[in-house]
Amino acid sequence: MKTSTSIPSEGVSEADPAKRDPVNHEPAVRPGRLQGLRGHLERAGMLLVLALLVIVFAVNQPAFLNIDNLFSILQAVSIVALLGIGVTVTLAAGGFDLSVGSVAASAQMAASYVLIVWHGNAFEAVVACLALGIAAGLFNGFLITRLRVPDQLATLGTLFLLAGLQLIPTGGRSLATGTILPDGTETTGIFSDAFLALGRLRLFDVVPLPVVVLAVLTIVACIVMETTRWGRVIYAIGGNETAARLAGAPTARYRIAAYVASGAIASLGGVLIAARVGRGDVSAGHSMLLDAVAAALVGYAVWGAKRPNVFGTVVGAVFVGVLLNGLTMLNAPYYMQDFIKGVLLVGALAFTFSVGRGTENQA
């Protein structure tokens, strides 16, 4: 327990609100017309840019607006967006889950192992994946709330742990029917059609199943985070954990829950990867962490939220997908992709943090 450290000097508390809240507050200020316009731009800016991009791509390459192309963009970003939702929930709780990529990668290997080595069915494979994701979340939560390891370091540790762990059962080899295991046996199981359908089926022959999963999870996560008391407590912990605890919130439990949710969602992403690729790929999933984090951070700029939010994260992921797909159609070389993502992320962050400050100073 900390010793009491009240602040005796006058003037400190008055200065505090301004210092701690570098974000503008419209209700108190009556914005002029210019500032009103500015506020609208701030909220709708990212969406406007997205719309503009779609128009530019559509004009230059009419095939861009092809319904199949649009859904292939969504399918391409669905897993990154899912992982981003997990990252967003942990960011909202004042943490940061860096292990989502590894959780997805190891869940993908776990699904393959259940199917190919243990001859499990699709249901068992999915359950095993979710169990792995929940276990990873509990492990992160344990490190963070019980052993008091800082969030980023704990999840960075889990990242390495899982990335290494998934290589051990197969001796570092990718897993498909016929793979020779380290003990010399040849695997005989197969990816059942039911499991492959998770990644390849199209609802009404149009909407890929991963996109449906993403849509459902986005809606559920938005409702929980924005309209229930559970979401409130999570944001409260992220804003001021002491205040949340002194107001009676079981903060440790909520933080663990945030990591469990993140782990479970990431493992679901792993299932979708395995179902699409059709084998256990040792190199799949790892690159997704940075994309997911970027989506969550770009999400800060969507609708002027300036905070982690699920809707923004999904928009951020779609934004990246549209940009890459459109530029590829316009024959931009593939090696430009990371650079473009970087430009987008830096731009969005600068927008989030500098534009808000600008209006605050004027107010």
Partner 1 sequence: MGGYDGRSFATSAAWRASSSMTAPVLTVAAVSKRFGPTVALDRVDLSIRAGEVVALMGANGAGKSTLVKILSGVYRPDAGDLLLCRQPFRPASPHDAKQLGIATVHQSIADAVVPTLSIADNLLLDRLCDPASPWRVPPAVRRHAAAPLAARVGLNVDLAAPLASLSLAAQQLVTLARALATRPALLILDEPTASLSAPEAERLFGLIDRLRAEGVAILLVSHRLGDLRRVAERVTIVRDGRIVADLPAPIDFDAAVETMIGRPLRSQAAANVATVATAAAATPAVPFFSVRDLQLTPSSIPFDLDVQRGEIVAIAGPVGGGKSRFARAIFGAGRATSGVMTLDGQPWRPRSPADAIRAGVFLAGEDRWRTSLFPDSVPFASIAGTLSFPFLARWFKYGGLRRARERRAALDAIERFGIRCTGPDDRLNSLSGGNQQKVVLARWHTQPARLLLLDEPFQGVDAGARADIVDTLRRHAQERATLVFVSDLEEAFEIADRVVRFDRATLDRVSQSNFTSHARS
CB of 261 to partner 1, least distance (A): 15
Q: What is the C-alpha separation between 119 and 115, in angstroms, rounded?
A: 5
200 versus 232: smaller Cβ distance to partner 1: 232
CB of 24 to partner 1, least distance (A): 8
Q: What is the C-alpha separation between 330 and 335, in angstroms, rounded?
A: 14
Binding site for partner 1 (CB under 8 A): 1, 3-14, 16-18, 20-21, 23, 25, 27-29, 226-230, 232-233, 235-236, 238-240, 242-250, 306-307
Q: What distances in angstroms separate CA 318 from CA 56, 80, 239, 343, one per listed residue?
A: 16, 9, 27, 16
* Long-range CB contact pairs, 327-335, < 8 A, 24+: 329/57, 329/61, 329/63, 329/64, 330/57, 330/60, 330/61
The angle that helices 67-92 and 288-299 make with each other, rounded to 10 degrees, is 80
Task: Give the CA-trace dihedral at 341, 342, 345, 349, to 10 degrees.
Answer: -170
Angle (CA) 338 340 341, round 5°: 65
CB of 148 to partner 1, least distance (A): 16
207 versus 349: smaller Cβ distance to partner 1: 349
CB of 88 to partner 1, least distance (A): 13
How many other C-beta atoms can be found within 10 angstroms of the C-beta atom of residue 345? 20
**Among residues 294, 287, 284, which one has the least CA distance to residue 107?**
284
CB of 6 to partner 1, least distance (A): 5
CB of 68 to partner 1, least distance (A): 38
CB of 299 to partner 1, least distance (A): 14
Give the position of tokens 């998934």: 166
What's the full length of the chain, in residues?
363
114 versus 256: smaller Cβ distance to partner 1: 256
Q: What distances in angstroms separate CA 74 from CA 70, 103, 279, 334, 340, one per listed residue?
A: 6, 22, 22, 19, 18
187 versus 359: smaller Cβ distance to partner 1: 359
168 versus 246: smaller Cβ distance to partner 1: 246
128 versus 296: smaller Cβ distance to partner 1: 296
225 versus 324: smaller Cβ distance to partner 1: 225
